Amino acid sequence: MDESVEGGWKGAAEARGVVEMPLTFVDRDGTMTAYDFELIRSMRVFIDVPSIATGGAGIYSHLMEATKDGDAPTVAAFTGKAKIAHSAPDIRARRDYVRS
């Protein structure tokens, strides 16, 4: 990567037009134990583009927690049988439907 780009890798990504940043938690992938919520929240300090959290979701509340406060506006989960990808508004709408 060209280190002369202002802002290091973040600046280079933004200069190249990155509009979303995938956050894949390889160590949690397939475990269904949850995303690394602390890392998701801390990434907001380093990147100005929305992140996509993947790797580790096992239950619906994991998807909800990851999108809380816009930390990861988009999440994805794969169970081996069906792939699920939702944005925060989709998840909020489903949550509201379930609560009604």
Please write the tens of the pLDDT for every residue from 6-46: 567 777 887 888 888 888 888 888 888 888 888 888 887 77
Spatial contact of 31 and 1, defined as CB atoms under 8 Å apart: no
- CB burial class (10 A; 0-12, 13-18, 19+) of residue 28? middle
Q: Is residue 73 part of a domain?
A: yes
User: Residue holding tokens 């509201």?
Assistant: 96
pLDDT digits (tens, 9 = 90+) for 42-71: 887 777 788 888 888 888 888 888 887 667
pLDDT bracket for residue 2 (50, 70, 90)? very low
Q: Is residue 25 part of a domain?
A: yes
Q: Is residue 14 part of a domain?
A: no
Question: What is the C-alpha to C-alpha distance for residues 83 and 96, in angstroms, rounded to an integer?
Answer: 22
Q: What is the pLDDT of residue 90?
A: 67
Q: Is residue 7 part of a domain?
A: no
Q: Is residue 8 part of a domain?
A: no
What tokens were used for 60?
């619906």
Q: Is residue 65 part of a domain?
A: yes
Question: What is the C-alpha to C-alpha distance for residues 81 and 89, in angstroms, rounded to an integer?
Answer: 24
Task: Supply the range of the domain harboring residue 88.
Answer: 19-99
Instruction: Say which CATH number the domain at 55 has.
Output: 3.40.50.12600
Q: Is residue 67 part of a domain?
A: yes
Question: In the chain, how many domains are there?
Answer: 1
To the question of pTM greater than 0.85 for the whole model, the response is no
Query: Residues 6 or more apart from 79 whose CB is under 8 A from it?
Result: 32
